[in-house]
Amino acid sequence: MEEFELIRRLSPSYYRQSSVVKGIGDDAFVFRSSEDIVFTTDTMVEDVHFSKSTMAPHAVGYRALAANVSDLAAMGSEPAFYSVSLVVPPDWTEEEIVELYDGMDELGRVFGMDLIGGDTVSGKQLVVAITAHGYLQKGKARYRSAARPGDLLFVTGTLGDSRGGLEELLHSSPPFSEYLVQRHRYPEPRAVFASRLQGLNRLCLNDVSDGIASEANEIASASGVTVHVDRELLPISESLRSVYPEKAVEWALSGGEDFELLGTVSEQEKEELLRTAEHMKMRVTFIGTITSSDAPRVLIHSGEKAETLLPTGYTHLQERRSQ
Ligand SMILES: Nc1ncnc2c1ncn2[C@@H]1O[C@H](COP(=O)(O)OP(=O)(O)OP(=O)(O)O)[C@@H](O)[C@H]1O
Ligand SMILES: Cc1ncc(C[n+]2csc(CCOP(=O)(O)O)c2C)c(N)n1
Ligand SMILES: [Mg+2]
Ligand SMILES: [Mg+2]
Ligand SMILES: [Mg+2]
């Protein structure tokens, strides 16, 4: 495999976004805009975010882009572009890299996104670093700091399935549940839902990459509020409950990589949010409330009992913290 020939093979033959001025092929990409623009970047590394036993190249590409689209959704934006920096180890073939790009394009197509450039270098492990861009109506970015006392806490889809799927892939052959494996490999970032909510006056959004224990704490800190989560209301799929009954709640809280949206909405705008979800046949579950606070935190309630929910979940570089 040779760098320039690979780039030629990976370059799109046309662009879906009409704002493209100069696509792949010069020193950089150019587009024209009069709207607010969102930029985000997330990276996937072999043997950290996936391994050859958990995911085929197609799913690696799909999920690397899905993680980025999920952050565009969490800002309320409409996905438009992505660029890809690739570190390719010797054991990955050209066909596997092409498959990885096919996986990205499968998701890119859903949102009308264009691949607009990137970089290709050789190295020891596969690394896919994506930067994605989205459009926003002016002033409509959905911040973690937008939660207010009296809001309702909601989450899209179901939680913990991705962690269940990973367990299946690492420890159970054949897997008990194809559904869980699919949810791990092919998450559905909620960008259409988020961009259809641009009419709401105020909305707080955060996407679930590390688990809601972590994401709810980010909302509490950024907004200066207490987030209350009701353990009994967590949306957990039938599959996860039946295959991993003892682990389901723990993984719903801190399994991570669900790429659902966790957010807060006012009582007044709740109905519009629900109507939008129903129209898309997408599950939205209200799982708690927001109250004012001098010390931002997350409380998890179970019947009469309430305890602090700490931001547990996957944290990179954790072993270096004490150094
Ligand atoms: N190495 C870095 N250099 C500069 N900014 C960074 C770096 N890593 C993260 N950030 C910034 O920190 C903020 C939070 O990033 P973080 O990656 O935690 O969010 P996320 O993408 O929602 O979470 P996750 O990576 O778990 O999906 C973002 O504004 C991000 O751009
Ligand atoms: C082979 C393999 N081992 C472990 C995991 C679990 N995992 C890796 S990164 C992450 C959190 C999100 O990362 P980030 O903060 O970078 O978005 C999780 C839950 C996996 N997916 N594959
Ligand atoms: Mg990130
Ligand atoms: Mg995020
Ligand atoms: Mg992210």
Domains of the chain plus CATH, in order, are 3-136 (3.30.1330.10), 144-320 (3.90.650.10)
Using the predicted structure, report yes or no on whether residue 317 has a pLDDT greater than 90: no
Using the predicted structure, report yes or no on whether residue 175 has a pLDDT greater than 80: no
Output the 3-class SS for 124-188: CCCEEEEEEEEEECCCCCCCHHHCCCCCEEEEECCCCHHHHHHHHHHHCCCCCCHHHHHHHHCCC
Question: Which residues carry a binding-site annotation for ATP?
Answer: 101, 118-119, 144, 209
pLDDT at position 323:
39
Using the predicted structure, report yes or no on whether residue 164 has a pLDDT greater than 60: yes
Helix (H) or strand (E) holding 81: strand 78-88
Q: Which value does ipTM take for this structure?
A: 0.96
Using the predicted structure, report yes or no on whether residue 322 has a pLDDT greater than 50: no
Ligand 1, atom 10: closest residue by C-alpha: 41
pLDDT at position 155:
98
d(CA 303, ligand 4 centre) in Å:
30
The residues facing 154 across adjacent strands are 263, 286
Residue with tokens 């006012």: 266
For 39-60, how does the pLDDT look when each residue is reduced to its tens digit (9 = 90+)?
Answer: 999 999 999 999 998 999 999 9
Question: Which residues carry a binding-site annotation?
Answer: 27, 40-42, 49, 71, 101, 118-119, 144, 207, 209-210, 257, 314
pLDDT at position 94:
95
**What confidence category does residue 250 fall into, taking pLDDT thresholds of 50, 70 and 90?**
very high
Q: CA separation (Å) from 112 to 14, 16, 69, 303?
A: 12, 6, 12, 45
User: Does ligand 1 have an atom closer than 6 angstroms to the CB of 215?
Assistant: no
For 107-160, how does the pLDDT look when each residue is reduced to its tens digit (9 = 90+)?
Answer: 999 999 999 999 999 999 999 999 999 999 999 999 999 999 999 999 999 999
Q: The whole model's pTM is what?
A: 0.96
126 Cβ partners below 8 Å, 6+ apart? 45, 46, 60, 86, 87, 88, 89, 92
Give, rounded to a whole angstrom, the gap between the first and last alpha carbons of the chain: 41
d(CA 5, ligand 5 centre) in Å:
31
Residue with tokens 């879906």: 16
d(CA 193, ligand 2 centre) in Å:
25
Residue 239 and residue 277: Cα distance in Å, rounded?
A: 22
Greater model confidence, 322 or 4? 4
270 Cβ partners below 8 Å, 6+ apart? 152, 286
